[in-house]
């Protein structure tokens, strides 16, 4: 047994393959993450020419980070972003999961029309979408509120379709069993179906997180009070001609990327299972 394992490890062909794989991985990682790492290094550097690629240890400091945090009242903006992002995700996940359920599991009139319309909304762009949405939000008296920021982009046809596919993968027997036990539709959905598509839900969380976390234009349109701005919107100000400071822009960008990466790493495992559940159905 032990001998076998050692032999396996020493298998020269496999070792060669592994080394080659690592070299390839590192090469691709440089292309994918290299630019990001340059930005990270630049954000950590003070008092040097930003176009110089000669990174000296003595130039490194956290000054840009502490600077941008106090300059922009960053905690407030992060707080706003978290409220907006979490609310949008909750709305999307709950409503889409509810909506996808009958589309996958029930027979009813108009099913095909609704499904077709959902697909169509993914394809047809709305050139005047922003203006019409603004009118709607203003008629609903939601201007300058978080709800006005959140609602228009909360529920997505994409999420509904993805979850419908996921429901199709949940074993039919489970549903039947629940029905025989006399559970109502709502209980079947909440206790059997939703747990069955948890992986898919984590996929949508990642997608929604990226989308809402980085959106900046719509919040500017709807909100009048800058104290309600999300982070990405507030970072726009760093590009102003009077306030432009490259170090701050770099540090602000890094700060805005990190939470998304953390969410990604946490959801990564679920995420893979999710997609494999979703697409096959």
Partner 1 sequence: MKKRVLSIVLCGIMALSSLTGCGSSASGDSAKAAGTAAAETTIEFWTIDLKASFGDFFNDMIAKYEADNPGVKINWTDVPYDDIKSKLVTAVAGGTAPDVVNLNTQMTLTLAAQGALVDLNKEATEEQKSIYTESLWKSASIGDSVYAFPWYASPDIMFYNKDLFDQAGMKVPTTFEEALSECDEFHEKTGAYLFTPDSYFNLLISENMDVISDDGKSAVFNNADSLALLEKYKEYTDKGSISKTKWGDWDEELKEFESGKLAIVSSSGSSLSRIKDEAPDIYEKVAITTPLTGSNGLSRNPLMNLVIPEASKNHEAAIAFANYVTNDDNQLAFCKTVSIFPSTKKASEDPYFTSDTESLEGQASAMSAKASLTSEDFSLGIGNQSTIEDAINRVYEAVIINGDDSKQALDQAEADVNAILAENAE
Partner 2 sequence: MRTKTATMKTRRTINAYGFMAPALILILVFTIIPIIGSLILMFYDYSVLGTTKFIGIKNFVKAFQDRVFLISIKNSVLFVIVVPIIQILSILLAVLVNRNLPGMNVFRTLFYIPVVTSMVAVSIIWGFIFDSNGVINNFLQNAGIISMPLGFLSSKFGAMPCIMFITVWQGLGYYMMMYLAGLQGIPGELCEAARIDGADSLKVFTRIKLPLLKPYIWFCSLNSVISAVGVFDVVFVLTKGGPNNATMVINYYSYTKAFSDFQFGYAAAIGAVQAIVTTLLSITVFAYGKKGGMTNGD
Binders of partner 1 among residues 214 to 253 (CB under 8 A) are 217, 220-221, 224-226, 228, 236-247
Q: How far is CA 93 from CA 97, 98, 116, 131, in A?
A: 6, 8, 21, 26
Please count the residues of this chain forming the interface with partner 1, following the rule CB under 8 A: 43
- 177-196: which residues touch partner 2 (CB under 8 A)? 185, 189
Residue 269's alpha-carbon distances to 21, 165, 168, 206, 265, in angstroms, are 22, 19, 21, 12, 8
Selected binder of partner 2 within 74, 152, 166, 202 (CB under 8 A): 152
Q: Can you tell me the distance from the alpha carbon of 148 to that of 4, in angstroms, rounded to the nearest whole number?
A: 64
Closest separation in Å from C-beta 168 to partner 2 = 10
Our finding on whether 266 is near partner 2 (CB under 8 A) is no
Q: What is the largest CA-CA distance in the chain?
A: 76
> CA 67 from chain center: how many Å?
27
Contact 220, 229 (CB under 8 A): yes
The answer to whether residue 14 forms part of the interface with partner 2 (CB under 8 A) is: no
Give burial (CB, 10 Å; 0-12/13-18/19+) of 17: exposed
The binder of 265, among partner 2, partner 1, none, by C-beta within 5 to 8 A per type, is: partner 2
Binding mask 125-144 vs partner 2 (x if CB under 8 A, - otherwise)? xxxxx-xxx--x--------
For residue 47, state whether it binds partner 1 (rule: CB under 8 A). Answer: yes
Of 199, 135, 133, which is closest to residue 169 (Cα–Cα)? 199
Q: Using CB under 8 A, which of the segments 1-9, 58-66, 91-99, 220-228 binds partner 2?
A: 91-99
Binds partner 2 by CB under 8 A, chosen from 108, 113, 181, 225: 108
Q: Footprint of partner 1 on residues 106-165 (CB under 8 A)? A: 130-132, 134-136, 138-147, 151
214 by Cβ neighbours in 10 Å (0-12 / 13-18 / 19+) ranks as middle
The nearest distance, CB 72 to partner 1, in angstroms, is 8
Using CB under 8 A, list all residues that contact partner 1.
Answer: 47-51, 71-72, 130-132, 134-136, 138-147, 151, 217, 220-221, 224-226, 228, 236-247
């Amino acid at each position: 047994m032990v001998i076998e394992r050692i032999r396996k490890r020493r298998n020269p062909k496999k070792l060669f393959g592994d080394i080659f794989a690592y070299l390839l991985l590192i090469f691709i990682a440089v292309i994918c993450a290299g630019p990001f790492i340059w930005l990270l290094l630049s954000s950590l550097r003070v008092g040097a020419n930003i176009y110089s690629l000669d990174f000296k240890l003595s130039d490194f400091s956290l000054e840009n980070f502490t600077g941008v945090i106090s300059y922009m009242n960053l905690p407030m903006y992060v707080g706003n972003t978290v409220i907006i992002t979490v609310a949008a995700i909750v709305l999307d996940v709950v409503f889409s999961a509810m909506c996808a359920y009958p589309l996958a599991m029930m027979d009813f009139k108009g099913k095909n029309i609704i499904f077709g319309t959902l697909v169509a909304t993914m394809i047809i762009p709305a050139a005047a979408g922003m203006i019409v949405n603004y009118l709607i939000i203003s008629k609903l008296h939601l201007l300058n509120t978080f709800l006005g920021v959140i609602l228009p982009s909360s529920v997505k046809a994409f999420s509904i379709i993805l979850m419908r596919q996921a429901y199709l993968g949940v074993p039919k027997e489970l549903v039947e069993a629940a029905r025989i036990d006399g559970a109502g539709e709502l209980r079947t959905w909440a206790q059997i179906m939703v747990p069955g598509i948890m992986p898919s839900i984590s996929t949508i969380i990642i997608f929604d997180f990226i989308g809402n976390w980085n959106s900046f234009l719509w919040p500017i349109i709807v909100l009048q009070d800058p104290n309600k701005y999300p982070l990405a919107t507030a970072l726009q100000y760093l590009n102003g001609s009077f306030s432009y400071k490259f170090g701050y822009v770099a540090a602000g960008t890094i700060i805005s990327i990190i939470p998304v990466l953390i969410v990604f790493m946490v959801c990564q495992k679920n995420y893979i299972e999710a997609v494999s559940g979703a697409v096959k159905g």
